[in-house]
Structure 1
Amino acid sequence: MSKPTMIPIRTPNRPKGRAGRRALLAALVLLTAFSLVYIRFDAAEFLLGIPIFIRFLFEDFLPPNPSHLQGYLKPVVDTLIYAVIATFCSSVLGVALALLMARSTTPHPSVRTVLRGLLSLLRNIPFLAWASLLVVIFGVGTTAGLIALILFGCGFLARLYAESIEELDRDSIEALEACGATYGQRIRHAIIPQFLPAFYSWTLFMFEINIRASAVLGLVGAGGIGSLIKQTMDLFQYGKTSMVITIMIVMILAVELVTNQIRRRII
């Protein structure tokens, strides 16, 4: 008995899908070309500037100058303190606003709508823009930088906290509601225990962001290690600038390492 002949199955081509991908790629290339023309990007000037940049980097900027290393200690400590205070204040305010904004805990839908609009404003304005505005109001110093970090962090955390609360299991909440529990009892016994892992994770992440942000706030006169960068750059002391940036990089990496270890242990 002869074996049945196997007929190969051909996969149908998808010309429409290929044409769509090609059209999308062509549109992306055209958009990029238009953007380069619009901003008057000069490729020749860019290529000629590369050797100048490399020469500056290795002749003026590197190696770092550690001659005034002890004088950098206070700005580094100030930067860490800014981040701690800003993270604490923004997390406390963020939890309160998140409870009012989350669908499962808001007292009224209108409260949620108003708060979402207000926090979108706080979150979408960059912290450097907040710092620049607050420097005009409060003057040069730490107050403007701290308030800028708190405003930005509050808007950022409140939204993330609210989304985390909305994703919690509702079985325990509904069980407490069926037993006649008050609003505060539902928050304490059903919401908070489930919300704590997300709270720790996002708060530690916000602390890392605040370290980076507070390190550059000095560029607008808001204090911290960024003020050293601006000062040394203005005085053309590029070796000292390189040293300050190196300290900032080491500090950020150390903070990330510590927060990752804390996150693994408590979450």
Structure 2
Amino acid sequence: MSQVVSPHTEQRQKKAKRMVSLALLAGALAFSIWYVKFDMVEFISGIPLFLNFLFTDFLPPNFANMDSYLRPVLDTLIFAVVGTFISSLLGLVIAFLMARNTAPHPAVRIALRGVVSFVRNVPFLVWASLLVVIFGVGAMPGLFSLLVFGTCFLARVYAESIEELDKEATEALEASGATYGQIIKHAIIPQFMPGYFSWTLFMFEINIRASAILGLVGAGGIGSNLKQSLDLFQYSRASMIIVILIVLILAVEFLTQRIRERIL
């Protein structure tokens, strides 16, 4: 015979669980502060130094030699365009092979999911650093790192989108004796295209940011100019590059949003 729990008892149990959760959270926070040796006095006393550096050395941006930034910005855009285009095609093929409702065999799906999960969990800056060691400083390590990360990221989200599609059209074609290729062409792709464009545009935005950061590890793009400026203590020039990056990212976000509105 099951025991009936009164509403008052159930409320007390919920309150006790909430208090235990808050106590564990507070304990974890206190341990973290102790472990990193966080000093509130030092933090507060450092604020005036930070503001002095920000408004004395870092700002205002140096607008001289603006033409010298055009080539790095163009490199950054090309990295993002090429990386997004190639990784979207590769990711699409892998997604069809690893999605539950389109994989040709469960073993293929499991193997690809394992590889994709491993690659996705390694930050793209780590891939860029490894590829710089292999290929040397230049554009190719940056582009390859974008391809590796972008392909696995898109393959994962594409596969999840494919698995969430309406199965009625697929089941109808299977019942009529359609082949695997016909099912993909007439049932999967038409439903999947909105998700494909949306995720690909999102990946393009990510690649713009990533391309700007890749230069910090010697992989080309405008990030290389930013690293060089910081290494030479040219902070006003570095702030100009950051302003350019912000404008570039906002412009790309606005453009991709307009494309989404037109396509979707």
Correspondence for 2:163:
166
* Residue aligned with 2:101, SS: coil
- Please state how far the C-alpha of 1:200 moved relative to its aligned partner: 0.5
2:50 corresponds in structure 1 to 53
Q: Which amino acid aligns with 1:232?
A: S
Q: Tell me by how many angstroms 1:16 deviates.
A: 1.7
Q: Does residue 152 in structure 1 map to residue 146 in structure 2?
A: no
Q: Which amino acid aligns with 2:44?
A: L
Superposed displacement of residue 42, structure 1: 2.2
Task: Give the whole-Å Cα distance in 2 for the aligned partners of 1:59 and 1:185.
Answer: 65
Question: How many Å apart are 1:22 and its aligned residue?
Answer: 1.7
Aligned length: 257
Per-residue deviation, 1:52: 0.6
Distance 1:135 1:44 in 2: 41
Task: Give the whole-Å Cα distance in 2 for the aligned partners of 1:193 and 1:204.
Answer: 18
Matched AA of 1:178: A
Q: Per the alignment, in what secondary structure is the counterpart of residue 187 of structure 1?
A: helix
Give runs of ≥4 in structure 1 deviating > 4 Å.
none
Distance 1:204 1:35 in 2: 38
Look up the match of 1:92. 89
* Corresponding position: 1:203 with 2:192: no
- Structure 2: how far apart are the matches of 1:76 and 1:94? 26
After TM superposition, the score normalised by the length of structure 2 is 0.95
Output one character per residue of 1:28-63: Cα deviation in whole Å (capped at 9) or x when no partner.
111011011111222222122111100000000001
State TM-score, norm by structure 1.
Answer: 0.94
CA distance in 2, matches of 1:191, 1:108: 17
Cα deviation code 1:146-171 (max 9, x no counterpart): 00011101111101000110111111
* CA deviation map 1:9-41 (0-9, x unaligned): xx8472221222122112111101101111122
Residue 121 of structure 2, aligned match among 124, 136, 141: 124
1:265 maps onto 2:257 in alignment: no
Q: Please give the alpha-carbon distance, in whole angstroms, between the structure 1 residues aligned to 2:106 and 2:143.
A: 32
Match of 1:5 in 2: none
Task: Tell me how large the CA RMSD over aligned residues is.
Answer: 1.1
Q: Deviations over 1:165-215 (max 9, x none)?
A: 011111111111122211111111111000000000000000000000000
User: Is 2:20 aligned against 1:23?
Assistant: yes
SS of 2:223's partner is: helix
> Is the counterpart of residue 192 in structure 1 residue 186 in structure 2?
no
> Which one of 227, 246, 256 corresponds to residue 243 of structure 2?
246
| Inter-partner Cα distance in structure 1 for 2:24 and 2:96 | 44
Q: Which residue of 2 aligns with 1:216?
A: 213
**Gapped runs of 5+ residues in structure 1?**
1-10
Question: Which ranges of structure 2 fall in alignment gaps of 5 or more residues?
Answer: 1-6
